[in-house]
Amino acid sequence: MKRSAYLNRFDLDIALRDASIDPSNRPTQRMLAAAALGTDVEDAYFAAVELREAVEWVHEGVTGGKRKLATILGNETCDDYQRCLYYILAGRGVVLMLDDLMWLEELLEARGRLAGKLAKSGIATMPLVSPYVAAEPDGPVVRVHDDFVQGASWSADPTLSE
C-alpha cells in the first residue's frame, strides 16, 4: 500500500491556517494569513518584509518610498502575492496596515525558523502547494509612478480614535 505524502510530515502552514480562522484576529489579519498559505517559506517572508518597508517609507515620507511601493505593485515579473497582501489592507488606514504587516512578518519569520530547524533535524515537511498558478501577474498591474496621490488612509487612521 502506498503511503500518503502527508503522513509523518510536519505542516509548515499550520500556524497560518490557525491564524486565518482565529476569531480573535482582525479580519485583515485572517485574510493575510490565508493569502500566505502554500507560499514558499522564504519568498513569503521576504515579500512581506519588502512590502511593509515600502508602506512604512511612504508613511514616513522617506525619499524613494513611493517609487518602491509603486514598483512592488507594478512588478510584471512576479506572481500576485505582494499585490494580494497590499490590496487586503489598502484604504484601511496606515497604522492598521503597518500593524497587520508586522504581525504577518512575525508569523512568517517563525514559520521560516521552524522550517530551518526541521530541515536541520531531517524532519520531513508536507509539500507546500502554491496557490498562485502562474509566476507572472494575472491581470492589470499598477503603473509605476512615484507621484501618486496619497488618500486619507495615509494620514487619518480610524484605529487612532479608539
Average pLDDT of every residue of the chain: 87
User: What percent of the chain stands above pLDDT 90?
Assistant: 61
pLDDT band, very low/low/confident/very high, at 77 (cuts 50, 70, 90) = confident
pLDDT band, very low/low/confident/very high, at 148 (cuts 50, 70, 90) = confident
Q: Are 32 and 88 in contact (CB under 8 A)?
A: yes
The pLDDT value given to residue 136: 73
Q: What is the mean pLDDT of residues 65-93?
A: 89
The pLDDT value given to residue 9: 85
* pLDDT (tens digit per residue) in 19-41: 999 999 999 999 999 999 999 99
Q: What is the mean pLDDT of residues 49-71?
A: 93
The pLDDT value given to residue 1: 44
* pLDDT (tens digit per residue) in 88-119: 999 888 999 999 999 999 999 999 999 999 99
